[in-house]
A and B are shown apart, each in its own frame.
Chain A
Amino acid sequence: MAHGPAKGISRWLFTTNHKDIGTMYLWFSFAMFILGGAFAMIIRAELFQPGMQLVEPAFFNQMTTLHGLVMVFGAIMPSFVGLANWLIPMMIGAPDMALPRMNNWSFWILPPAFLMLASTLFMEGGAPAFGWTFYAPLSTTYAAPSVTFFIFSIHVLGLSSIMGSINIIATVMNMRAPGMTYMKMPLFVWTWLITAFLLVAVMPVLAGAVTMMLMDVHFGTSFFSAAGGGDPVLFQHIFWFFGHPEVYIIILPAFGVVSQIIPAFSRKPLFGYDSMVYATAAIAFLSFIVWAHHMYTVGMPVAGELFFMYATMLIAVPTGVKVFNWITTMWRGALSFETPMLFCIGFLVLFTIGGFTGLMLSIAPADFQYHDSYFVVAHFHYVMVAGAVFSMTAAVYFWLPKWCGKMYNETMGKTHFWISFIGFNITFFPQHFVGLAGMPRRIPDYSLQFADFNMMSSIGAFIYGASQIMFLYNVIATIVAGKPVSDDKVWDGAEGLEWTVATPAPYHTFETPPTIDPAHAHS
């Protein structure tokens, strides 16, 4: 095992190495990010002006659907799995992931699943056009035949997530170096452990939902058909029982990343480590009992509306704990503002805005006004893009020098941040206003009074989209011709085992477990 990677393509196809697999996940997710981004550009181009200009309404619906599916399941989730693969073994002092061959399998079933999903665009009747939430009966009675391929690709990526999560749980529970107790683990490991529990718990429920769809479409069952005694609303309950934990699956690893990076550039340990761990666990628990806040307008009994409203509001408490802890970590720190830190501060500001709009949406009576409007679109993009994607970008800048042994171009990185930050806000901030004024989501055309803000949104989207090309260029330029870094500890304030191995990180690390000083606090 002392030897390095195999030569050629077989290295990637047959690998059992957590770093190779992490790299593949990261590149794959970036490819999906570009694909999902291209769909978004088509959406924004159509919405540039009122009236129909570029695409047919049916195709527009396919774009909103595929944009959501590709971004959630193809870009954000795999990117954090890639990060987990690269970092968790190095952070806990393990030689690799617990089950390396299964790890490789978890990755390799993803690309064909997304190929199948994307190929539905070219099928008769077109791609799925029922929105990424695929509500019945749009996705059953009224779906195009391509829905079958959609269902099976969801099955496959669920399988990938479950196997990946089992691997992460086994790694964290079983592979920590001696002395690396749970309460010494870096917060990124903690957030991923809890995320993995969520994934193992809810991905099978999603599999159940799409299986019921499959049976309704092809085999005459009536789960989501009232004529047979079922209920379309049942679909929404099952979907959101998966879907709400899913948004925490996306954001918890982002919290972990931010909790690593902010202390590094504040040159202070994370404030309130223990409370961070408990807050993460509390958020995970609450995520299971709030799902129906996505369904306030569906006609639930009032008792249900109230329960889900209060439970949802409770989530603000542990989330607030986290935000205050990050700010307190920075308080009186020796701050410096390299690109990863900029993205984390951007995260902090914008995610908090997304959190507050979430609080507005959690109020059931108010949600009757906001429901399915652009206000919701603005809300979840503040969480998904400025939350998950910004922190993921920060993570790439932060750990890239450790991964490839070369330093990225800092000026270009900072430029990328500012253009992203400005472009993002131009895109999504006006959507709050058009949403509150009544513009519904998922429509290719709109009333004239929304024209100015929509044009602004589209311009912002093109700016944000273009800035990602700069990101791609910067990463490739770094790998190919970046300035070599020789320090093990790339950032002077960074703490943790991954900064104790050589730079670039050797193919195999911690083949014998490192020693951990019991007096040393968590990293």
Chain B
Amino acid sequence: MTTQASTDHEKYYVPESSPLAVLATIGLVLSIFGAANFMNDLTFGEPGEASPAILYTGLFFFAATLFVWFRTTIRENIAGMASGQLKKSYVLGMFWFIFSEVMFFAAFFGALFYVRNLAGPWLAGEGEGGRMNGLLWEGFQYAWPMMTTPQEAVGGAASQLMANNGSFTSAETSMAFADAHHWYAWLPMWNTIILLSSSVTVHMAHTGLLGGDKKKFNLWLALTVVLGIVFLCLQVAEYYEAYAHFGLTLNSGIYGSTFFMLTGFHGFHVFMGMTMLAIQLYRSVRNGHFTAEDHFGFEASSWYWHFVDVVWVFLFLFVYIL
């Protein structure tokens, strides 16, 4: 019965053997080996000079391999080797990759919710988990943002009964809106406006492309990239503020930990998404890539961009506002 379908079936493109995977492996392994040594040098002992060199060599090698890898894929597509079915594989690949990223953020959001709703109150002696408060963390009051760590509540690391891996000094000022001096000086608000607008601009770019208007596409895409860069600059400014003026650091107890890890990983993803979009812009302007029908490189990048935008909305709600 399926004979007619079988003849219609496009031939699926299975690439010839390729050294890309092994090269990427070398880059990745050098990177993590260098990074692990580097961190151990910093934390445990004699600083070695070789470790950062290994790390940077690995990262460069890895980035170079990815560049060649994507270039190969793009050239194959231009040469017409990619069938419709292969493109569907790319769509599925990108979709499930983004899903895995969602789950990565879910781990950190889960940690935030757990601490705010369960562990924090328990440490302060509330509820069924709070029986140890009087023994271990007497005087600790739970509030969010946590402006006094349990360690500080009992009078510092020296007087606490539990061993720990550091001294945790809470911030003087939090990043919450209530602590902002002026509403217009509250960077997260501007960042929200910027990132939400950039989702609109990238959509405008897509509309332009679908309508065959490459000029409109390039313009809106360039604007998106600029908004991404502005966002990152503001994020850097915020971190500078946090460290220099707010006393908010990675060592500021769980508030600092969750704040920097959530916003930090998000910022890293914005950087990745911005880079992806910038590459698509370069491809479009310089090489005239993308048509109304064939523009998956751009489309995948824009999905990624919308994804980081959605993550930001949750960050804004649960890290800055609520």
List the interface of chain A (C-beta within 8 A of B).
1, 6, 10-11, 13-17, 94-96, 98-102, 104-105, 107-109, 112-113, 116, 137, 140-141, 145, 148-149, 151-153, 155-156, 162, 165-167, 169-171, 173-175, 177-179, 200-205, 207-209, 211-212, 214-223, 225-231, 233-234, 237-238, 241, 299-302, 508, 511-518
Enumerate chain A residues within 8 angstroms of B162, measured Cβ to Cβ: 226-227
- Decide: B40 and A228 in contact? CB cutoff 8 A: no
18 A-B residue contacts at CB 8 Å? A1-B14, A104-B22, A109-B28, A166-B92, A170-B92, A204-B100, A204-B107, A208-B111, A212-B111, A218-B42, A221-B257, A222-B164, A222-B251, A226-B164, A228-B166, A229-B119, A299-B129, A513-B9
Enumerate chain B residues within 8 angstroms of A107, measured Cβ to Cβ: 21
Query: Do most interface residues of chain A lie in helix, strand or loop, or is the interface mixed?
Result: helix
- Decide: A152 and B36 in contact? CB cutoff 8 A: yes
Say yes or no: A515-B1 contact (C-beta < 8 A), given A98-B92, A105-B24. yes
Further pairs besides A165-B96, A209-B107, A226-B164: 9, Cβ < 8 Å: A101-B20, A104-B22, A166-B100, A200-B99, A204-B107, A227-B149, A229-B146, A238-B111, A299-B129
Shortest distance from the beta carbon of A400 to any chain B beta carbon, whole Å: 25
Enumerate chain A residues within 8 angstroms of B107, measured Cβ to Cβ: 204-205, 207-209, 212, 238, 241
Enumerate chain A residues within 8 angstroms of B168, measured Cβ to Cβ: 220, 222, 225, 227-229
Enumerate chain A residues within 8 angstroms of B35, measured Cβ to Cβ: 152
- Decide: B123 and A16 in contact? CB cutoff 8 A: no
Query: Do most interface residues of chain B lie in helix, strand or loop, or is the interface mixed?
Result: helix
Q: Indicate whether B287 reaches chain A with its CB closer than 8 angstroms.
A: no
Enumerate chain A residues within 8 angstroms of B283, measured Cβ to Cβ: none
- A6, A108, A209, A518 interface centre (most CB from chain B within 10 Å): A108
Measured in the bound complex, the distance between the Cα atoms of B162 and A13 in whole Å is: 51
Enumerate chain A residues within 8 angstroms of B111, measured Cβ to Cβ: 208, 212, 223, 234, 238
Chain B contacts with A in 1-57, Cβ cutoff 8 A: 1-3, 5-6, 9, 11-12, 14-22, 24-25, 28-29, 32-33, 35-36, 39-40, 42-45
- Decide: B17 and A6 in contact? CB cutoff 8 A: yes
Measured in the bound complex, the distance between the Cα atoms of B15 and A11 in whole Å is: 14
Enumerate chain B residues within 8 angstroms of A238, measured Cβ to Cβ: 107, 110-111
Measured in the bound complex, the distance between the Cα atoms of B31 and A109 in whole Å is: 12
Chain B contacts with A in 250-295, Cβ cutoff 8 A: 250-251, 253-258, 260-261
- B19, B111, B118 interface centre (most CB from chain A within 10 Å): B111
Say yes or no: A203-B129 contact (C-beta < 8 A), given A108-B22, A226-B123. no
Shortest distance from the beta carbon of A312 to any chain B beta carbon, whole Å: 20
Enumerate chain B residues within 8 angstroms of A10, measured Cβ to Cβ: 17
Shortest distance from the beta carbon of A522 to any chain B beta carbon, whole Å: 16
- Decide: A217 and B28 in contact? CB cutoff 8 A: no
Q: Indicate whether B137 reaches chain A with its CB closer than 8 angstroms.
A: yes
Measured in the bound complex, the distance between the Cα atoms of B20 and A17 in whole Å is: 14
Q: Indicate whether B120 reaches chain A with its CB closer than 8 angstroms.
A: yes
- Decide: A16 and B16 in contact? CB cutoff 8 A: yes
